[in-house]
Structure formats: structure tokens, C-alpha cells
Structure 1
Amino acid sequence: MEKQIIINGDAITDIPSFYREINRVFMSGESWQLGNSLDAFNDLLYGGFGAIKSNEPVKLVWKHIEKSRQALGYTVTKQYYEEKLLQGSPFNKEHFLEKLAALDNGTGQTYFDILMEIIAEHPNIILQPLNSD
């Protein structure tokens, strides 16, 4: 039997609120929280900690997914990339310049698109998008 996990898209207005919602849903029984990291989100979906204890089947119900798609769209993603390019940032600036250019010309992924790609890489996670309750 698959486990069901429900994300409330109404709680997601930007990247930090996405991770607050992920921590609320996936990490409630843990003594620590995930940071705002795509790698951490990916690791979470592999299981072994939080709500997913192994490679078990999981139905990920994402309520109000369109609201999340909008909240994690172009504007938030552009800001995310620009923060990676700030002086003193330890990130690969060339990589994020390319990502930002692709986003600006309409061929790049939004933060939401990246999350969808990460979820799709986990065959045990079945996404069930919902636009209302």
C-alpha cells in the first residue's frame, strides 16, 4: 500500500515557504529540518529519513499546484539565480549566468519546473496534482 503525503500549495508563496511546507509535511518527526536546497529536496525523496523511510511507494498529493507553479515561477526563479551571482557568492557564476540567460529568453526552467523534474526522477513517487481541495 502506498503512503500518501499532501503538500498544501496555498502555503507556498516563494522558495523559503516551499521549504517550510516541505519540512512541515516530510520532517515533522525529525529533530532537524531541511535547508533551502534543491539537492536536499532530492535527497529527501530518496527516503531514509523524514516521512519516506525507504524506497516505498508514495502518492504525493499537491493541492493548489497551480498557485505553487505561479509562486515558484519566473520572478522568484530570476531572483534565485541573481542571488547566486552576488559578489562573494561561492556558486559557479558561469553556470547561473547560463541559467539566467535561458530563463530570460524563455527556454529555461523555473524553480517549479526544476522541482517537477526532481520528483519525476523518483519512480516510487507518484505526483497527483490538484488545483482545489
Structure 2
Amino acid sequence: MATFTIRGAVARSIPSFYDELNRLFMTGEDWKLGPSLDALDDLLYGGYGALQGDDAVRVVWSDHAVSREALGRETTAAYYREKLRHPETYSREHFSELLAQLETGTGQTYFDIILEIFAHHPGIDLVLD
């Protein structure tokens, strides 16, 4: 089983998280993942990059507490507010609801959403270290 390590001390923002994913999984590809939860989900299906052809891999997220804090409520609220600035592209109702949930303490953080996406891929063993 191949093992990949996300460096949590480096993944301190949404862009730096995707930079870390690109470092790990997109070496040798002539394109990179953009900062998108859908792109993360697509990557974990394993059709390209370092995951291509692997049925099962382990991803160790070292110093995950650093990333958990960095991708927490504040970052997530800013992410939702940015989506709300573009109602021509994103659902105002949807992101307003997500922001309200976050502000009342019932919503998921960006970090929580990442963990949920990993959990939907049984061939990926995510280890928080």
C-alpha cells in the first residue's frame, strides 16, 4: 500500500492545502488541481496523478491540528462570503445557509468537509497524525 503524507504545518490555508495536494499527487502531470472541493473528490477516485491505478492507499496527515485550526471557522466563513460575492455563479441561498450554520456553531468547517470527502473513498485510508 502506497503512503502519502500531507504536511499539516504547510497546509495553512485553502490555497496551500491544494499546493500540498499537487506536490503529493500531481507530480508528473502537466496540469494542477485548483482549489476546489470537487477537484479533491475527483482526485481521490484515482483516475490520474499518483493515485492512478492504486486501489488502496494510505494518506497520513501529519500535524493535522495545524490544518484543522487554519481551515477552521474563520477560513470557512471567508470562503462562504467569497462565494456570496458571486451570485451569478454560486447559489446565494445555499451559501447563506451554510454561513448561518457555521456562525451558530452547527456548520462544518472546510477541514470537516475535507474529512467527509476522504471518508467517501473507502480505498483511501486517512490517518490523522
Normalised to the residue count of structure 2, the TM-score between the two structures is 0.96
Residue 127 of structure 2 aligns to which amino acid in structure 1?
Q
Normalised to the residue count of structure 1, the TM-score between the two structures is 0.94
CA contact (8 A) 1:26 1:51 kept: yes
Q: Tell me, what secondary structure is at the counterpart of 1:107?
A: coil
Runs (5+) with no aligned partner, structure 1: none
| Aligned residue number for residue 103 of structure 1 | 102
Residue 39 of structure 2 aligns to which amino acid in structure 1?
A
* CA drift at 1:87: 4.7
Q: CA RMSD in A?
A: 1.0
- Aligned equivalents of 1:100 and 1:64: distance in 2? 27
Residue 75 of structure 1 aligns to which amino acid in structure 2?
E
- Aligned equivalents of 1:79 and 1:60: distance in 2? 27
* CA drift at 1:89: 4.5
CA contact (8 A) 1:9 1:64 kept: yes
Runs (5+) with no aligned partner, structure 2: none
Q: Tell me, what secondary structure is at the counterpart of 2:27?
A: coil
* Alpha-carbon displacement from aligned partner over 1:24-78 (angstroms, at most 9, x marks no partner): 1110111100011000000000001011013511100111001010010000000
| Aligned residue number for residue 41 of structure 1 | 40
Identity %: 51
- Aligned equivalents of 1:50 and 1:56: distance in 2? 13
- Aligned equivalents of 2:110 and 2:86: distance in 1? 22
Aligned residue pairs, count: 129
Closer/same/farther in 2, CA of residues 64 and 89 from structure 1, 3 Å limit:
farther
Runs of 4+ in 1 over 3 A off after TM superposition: none
